[in-house]
A = this chain, B = another copy of it.
């Protein structure tokens, strides 16, 4: 647990598991969405944030903070979402540079359809494999790996 230049075997193993499992889970969920003829996970992340934000919408830079996507990535993802009619871009009164992104009814519907599949993946891949206590344990331990670290 002390600062080392070379990681302990335990740290290496935990890291390896984390890398491998997260990749597998993402791949599985992504595949399930694709089979359902739905957009990729990244779209869900954004639609989810926007749905939670409600009518007020969010500024692109707020989406960046919340989702950890790169700026250019959000910029283009929003362009695609807008082209598909899932979000709309509104000028923002007090800042001529910016815009507010609001989810449309269509967007909410797509998000719901995605959740039907995405949620099932989560239930199957994670919910069905660990008990509630174990899941809480995972959340707590992973929470300590955040940047910046937190305990929550």
Interface residues of A, Cβ cutoff 8 Å to B = 1-8, 10-15, 17-28, 68, 119-120, 122-132, 134-139, 141-147, 149
How many identical chains are in the complex? 2
CA distance A135 to B135 in the complex (A): 15
CA distance A21 to B20 in the complex (A): 13
Nearest CB of B to A88, in Å: 27
- Once the chains bind, are B22 and A122 in contact (CB under 8 Å)? no
CA distance A3 to B139 in the complex (A): 20
Partner of A22 from the list B11, B19, B27 (CB cut-off 8 Å) is B19
- Once the chains bind, are B123 and A6 in contact (CB under 8 Å)? yes
Nearest CB of B to A19, in Å: 7
Q: Which residues of B contact A134 (CB under 8 A)?
A: 141
Q: Which residues of B contact A26 (CB under 8 A)?
A: 19
- Once the chains bind, are B124 and A17 in contact (CB under 8 Å)? no
CA distance A20 to B22 in the complex (A): 10
User: Which 8 pairs between the two chains have the least Cβ-Cβ distance?
Assistant: A11-B127, A22-B22, A10-B135, A7-B123, A7-B122, A17-B142, A14-B135, A14-B138
Q: Provide a sorted-by-A list of 12 A–B residue pairs whose CB atoms are within 8 angstroms.
A: A1-B130, A6-B123, A8-B127, A10-B139, A14-B136, A15-B122, A17-B138, A17-B139, A18-B138, A19-B26, A130-B144, A137-B141
